[in-house]
Amino acid sequence: MIPNKKVKILATLGPAIKTQDDIRQLVEAGVNLFRLNFSHGEHADHAQRYDWVRAVEQQLNTPIGILMDLQGPKLRVGRFAEGKVMLERGQTLRLDLDSTPGDAQRVNLPHPEIIEALQPGMSLLLDDGRLRLQVTSKQSDAVITEVIAGGELSDRKGVNVPEAVLQLSPLTDKDRRDLAFGLELGVDWVALSFVQRPQDIIEARELIGDKAFLMAKIEKPSAVIHLEEIARLCDAIMVARGDLGVEVPAENVPRIQKDIIRTCRQLGKPVVVATQMLESMRFSPAPTRAEVTDVANAVAEGSDAVMLSAETASGDYPLEAVQMMSKIIRQVESGPDFQAQLDVGRPQADATASDAISCAIRRISSILPVAALVNYTESGASSLRTSRERPTAAILSLTPNLNTARRLTVAWGIYSVVNERLHKVEEVTSTALEIAQAQGMAQRGDTLVITAGEPFGQPGSTNSLRIETLH
């Protein structure tokens, strides 16, 4: 698997992927890690797909990451006596805790935490934002609202509360069962939905421990407000533009996306841009021009990875969607101004030996024709600091830990090879030259930059840099 792009592809698995060979084709087309969406499917389905990915990983001898995406709380209205109603603009609608089937004047809202958090003047969004209500008054067990934007409302449609922080854990009983199952399987990443505040990350981290890395999905306005605190506490961020685009004005989403990418890069945390990137390819073998531009912009802005959801999970053209995304990424990365754009947003380095070396690597690779940057890492931390610099050359990460290699599959420009634990810097140099050539990342006469640290094998000890020519 010769690296041919730096931005990674995260693809969702679902019923459209029917065999192990389907997964192999997606990896060969450019997928670096896979998402198991626990909002759909049974545990047996996810276990089967997990096993397929691990089998392909062995076949291709390349680390492949697996992310489990927890569903999170699903807020919905109750049922209607006739299955649906038509709400007219200006009318009153009562939402209450009474489980009796509703009508056009009232409906059950089986979430006391929403009623508790709402205040007069706040908005409620129904059915993915298609209907908008405004709270006019509040009672102990109900809120009275005015319909601002009406339409048809049917049973169990979703509710969004953009202006309130709900006293609600992001982990439901279902999520806790799913999480225990996923961690037992051996997933590398856990994506946490419904994040509202930093405490939500702490709660999830206590359950996950060191069994997997934690990715926070930014889809709530309160999470945007607390972005930096949340990003510091987790291992990566997902820009979940679906729910985010419902809860904030759509025209604000591009700016928020840029802010999230910039914050994550400054902190050295990988960031994934997700939702509807090539949505039309669910039913068409070609994307719209707007979708191509959307993916290209995410790449140009410096995101670590871009995600395919229904396109690969349930679409008619999963392989074509991955191939198209790979082509867009390579096209942007080969552009004359791509590196200059990334350099403009280069983050401020910390006053550490590791960051000093990472900055030097980037500078050296812009002066010399460096074929690859080789980094020996146990935990992956030094490779992530190098990735944060967005250097010109690809990063070959040598690690003795398969879990580290799998978890780095989401990070920009890093390609990992699992190698036995080395004991001194000289071993790193000879091994790096050998592996870079074997991986097709370098050939005779090419220059490599190699970093490692002493005391050897100690996280955070990167303190040496060598420039070597492959003979």
217 catalytic? Reply is yes
Are β-strands 142-149 and 92-96 bridged in parallel, bridged antiparallel, or unpaired? Answer: antiparallel
363 catalytic? Reply is no
Report residue 40 as tokens: 């759909």
Of the residues 54, 74, 76, 330, only one is catalytic, namely 76
Of the residues 6, 35, 132, 282, only one is catalytic, namely 35
Of the residues 275, 312, 386, 451, only one is catalytic, namely 275
Strand partners, 208: none
Of the residues 217, 269, 388, 407, only one is catalytic, namely 217
Catalytic residues: 35, 76, 217, 275
